[in-house]
């Protein structure tokens, strides 16, 4: 646990009084009055200048200098009055400092003429993607929830993740990920997915979103219309998925159809092309057909649409520049354009979009419609009883993170989701006294530590490919090999062990799809994250001290 926040006692009293009443004087009474969100949002956007309306559609990341936000992002908030900021992993080394920075951002927003608070977003999916690290909880992730098969687990995961985000002042989460795990070579999605069943994914996504909402966090389903059927990564290229629309409608779009009926507040559009649909080679994130015709009209969605990071090559490669991608994204139907870095003040992404606001009536109308949706979401979710405090209480960062109750739940989930994938030789459960000389090849210090708690003086080895002679010699000297498998590199190392005639037990970490390439491995246990708790649960299942009742949540070719 972190040390208490070091402030003099007198300042504690003053600060606590300020924190309790901070929200009311910071922002105008009309923003928090009792008018319906739709009515008040329209009044506000109608009174906005072109620049202020455009600014509400901007969500920017920033760089820190000595843990403090750059002057540039502060100027975008103070002088441009942007509507949102995005917290990335590089902003979160010091959780207390992050909370202080967010509070200062909201204070700056309160001094703007528009006096509209900021959306503060991040990616806190759990498991593999956890941008706010520091003192927050490690969690088993979405695929572990899919393996448990219990919607209540999804709700509670969202609830505890949301509870921790609220402590630091984050009010929007880019989760749940409802991409289906259709292509098992998809490294980008993998264990971030609940599985490959569309209806089950929709159920888990809805439950996770409701858990976030219970803590005042605005959930965002992603990546519309689905990123799970490609092994390409839209950060570097524009992926192309060959599914036709009928296939998408009955597969990838099912979770969104379900979540739309449940009025999910926000959806993130993905940078993926679907050439066998009417969108052709246009990324879905820039496609009026996908966002307006399908999501808005056919599916009846009325919430926010937010782009994935526009700086990703999947967006800019098809337009040639950031400002063109931003304009096309807004025209296509996105309401917020998200960028991971802070543009310069005279960057064309602002200058050209503002010029279009002034000279193109249709673009002006579209941007004001987007700003209206942003304001409606803010008014709906930032002035109710569950709303995240605009100014975080810095003392709570040290006393309430990580959440103790949440930590207990995530440990239980890690154990509940463990899966015996193969036990063809009947090695499981393994008696440590009969294991002989144990060898632990892996790529995790937590794996080595957990193994040493179980076995008497096991040999550990951090492996790499290509396989070294030293690794083979150590494997030959062992009676039992317990192997940590989390990537393609591990597959190549395991293949070199095939002819050694040893007992091999694979602990599959993250996605067990790698086992499909190892049909000769007959003993394997799956956990779905590389967290300490998940690895410990895997060893417990190996020994039989817990029941491994998890089920792989996708169609796994076991042989």
Residue 197 appears among annotated catalytic residues: no
| Other residues' Cβ atoms within 10 Å of the Cβ of residue 434 | 9
Non-local CB neighbours of 114 within 8 Å, separated by 6+ positions: 44, 48, 52, 81
The active-site residue out of 235, 292, 412, 446 is: 235
Crossing angle between the packed helical segments 322-332 and 361-381, to the nearest 10 degrees:
70
CA distance 209 to 249: 22
Q: Is 308 among the catalytic positions?
A: yes
Distances (CA, A) of 488 to 129, 439, 448, 465, 485: 20, 20, 20, 9, 8
Q: What is the DSSP string of 483-505?
A: EEE-SHHHHHHHHHHGGG--EEE
Q: Do the Cβ atoms of 291 and 268 come closer than 8 Å?
A: no
Q: What is the C-alpha separation between 367 and 246, in angstroms, rounded? A: 31
* DSSP type of residue 31: G
How far is the C-alpha of 145 from the C-alpha of 402, rounded, in Å?
Answer: 20
Of residues 64, 153, 308, 522, which has the active-site annotation? 308
CA proximity to 374, closest of 22, 37, 30, 26: 37
- Say which residues have a Cβ less than 8 Å from residue 526's Cβ, sequence separation at least 6: 147, 418, 419, 421, 508, 512, 515, 538, 550, 552
Side-chain-side CA neighbours of residue 24 (13 Å)? 4
Catalytic center residues: 235, 308
């Amino acid at each position: 646990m972190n040390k208490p926040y070091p402030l003099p006692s007198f300042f504690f009293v003053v600060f606590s009084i300020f924190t309790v009443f901070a929200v009311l004087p910071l922002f105008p009474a009309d923003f928090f009055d009792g008018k319906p969100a739709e009515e008040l949002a329209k009044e506000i956007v109608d009174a906005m200048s072109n620049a202020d309306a455009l600014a509400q559609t901007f969500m920017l990341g920033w760089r820190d200098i000595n843990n403090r936000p750059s002057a540039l992002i502060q100027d975008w908030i103070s002088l441009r009055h942007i509507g949102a900021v995005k917290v990335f992993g590089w902003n979160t080394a010091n959780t207390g400092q992050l909370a202080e920075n967010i509070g200062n951002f909201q204070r700056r927003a309160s001094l703007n003429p528009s006096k509209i608070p900021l959306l503060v977003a991040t990616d806190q999916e759990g498991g593999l993607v956890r941008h706010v690290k520091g003192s927050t909880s490690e969690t088993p992730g979405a695929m572990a929830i899919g393996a448990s098969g219990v919607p209540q687990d999804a709700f509670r995961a969202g609830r505890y993740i949301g509870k921790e985000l609220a402590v630091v002042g984050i009010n929007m989460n880019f989760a749940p990920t409802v991409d289906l795990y259709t292509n098992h070579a998809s490294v980008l999605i993998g264990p971030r997915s609940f599985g490959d069943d569309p209806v089950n994914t929709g159920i888990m996504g809805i439950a996770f979103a409701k858990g976030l909402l219970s803590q005042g966090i605005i959930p965002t389903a992603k990546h519309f219309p689905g990123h799970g059927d490609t092994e390409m990564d839209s950060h570097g290229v524009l992926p192309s998925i060959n599914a036709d629309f009928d296939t998408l409608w009955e597969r990838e779009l099912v979770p969104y159809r379900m979540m739309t009926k449940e009025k999910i507040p926000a959806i993130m559009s993905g940078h993926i092309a679907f050439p066998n649909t009417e969108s052709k080679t246009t990324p879905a994130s820039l496609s009026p057909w996908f966002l307006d015709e399908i999501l808005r009209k056919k599916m009846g969605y009325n919430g926010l649409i937010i782009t994935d990071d526009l700086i990703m090559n999947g967006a800019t490669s098809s337009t040639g520049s950031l400002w063109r991608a931003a304009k096309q994204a807004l025209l296509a139907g996105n309401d917020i354009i998200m960028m991971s870095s802070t543009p310069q003040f005279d960057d064309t992404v602002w200058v050209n979009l503002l010029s279009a606001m002034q000279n193109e009536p249709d673009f002006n109308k579209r941007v004001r419609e987007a700003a209206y949706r942003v304001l409606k979401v803010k008014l709906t979710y930032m002035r109710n009883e569950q709303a995240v405090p605009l100014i975080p209480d810095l003392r709570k960062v040290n006393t309430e993170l990580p959440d103790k109750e949440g930590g207990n739940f995530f440990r239980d989930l890690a154990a509940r989701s463990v899966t015996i994938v193969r036990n063809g030789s009947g090695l499981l459960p393994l008696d440590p006294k009969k294991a002989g000389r144990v060898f632990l090849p892996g790529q995790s210090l937590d794996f080595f530590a957990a193994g040493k708690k179980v076995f008497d003086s096991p040999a550990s080895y951090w492996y790499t490919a290509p396989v070294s002679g030293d690794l083979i010699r150590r494997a030959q000297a062992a009676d039992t090999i317990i192997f940590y498998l989390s990537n393609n590199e591990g597959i190549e190392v395991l293949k070199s062990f095939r002819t050694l005639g040893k007992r091999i037990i694979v602990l599959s970490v993250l996605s067990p799809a790698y086992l499909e390439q190892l049909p000769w491995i007959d003993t394997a246990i799956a956990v779905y994250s590389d967290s300490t708790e998940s690895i410990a649960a895997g060893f417990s299942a190996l020994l039989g001290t817990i029941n491994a009742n998890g089920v792989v949540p996708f169609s796994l070719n076991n042989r």
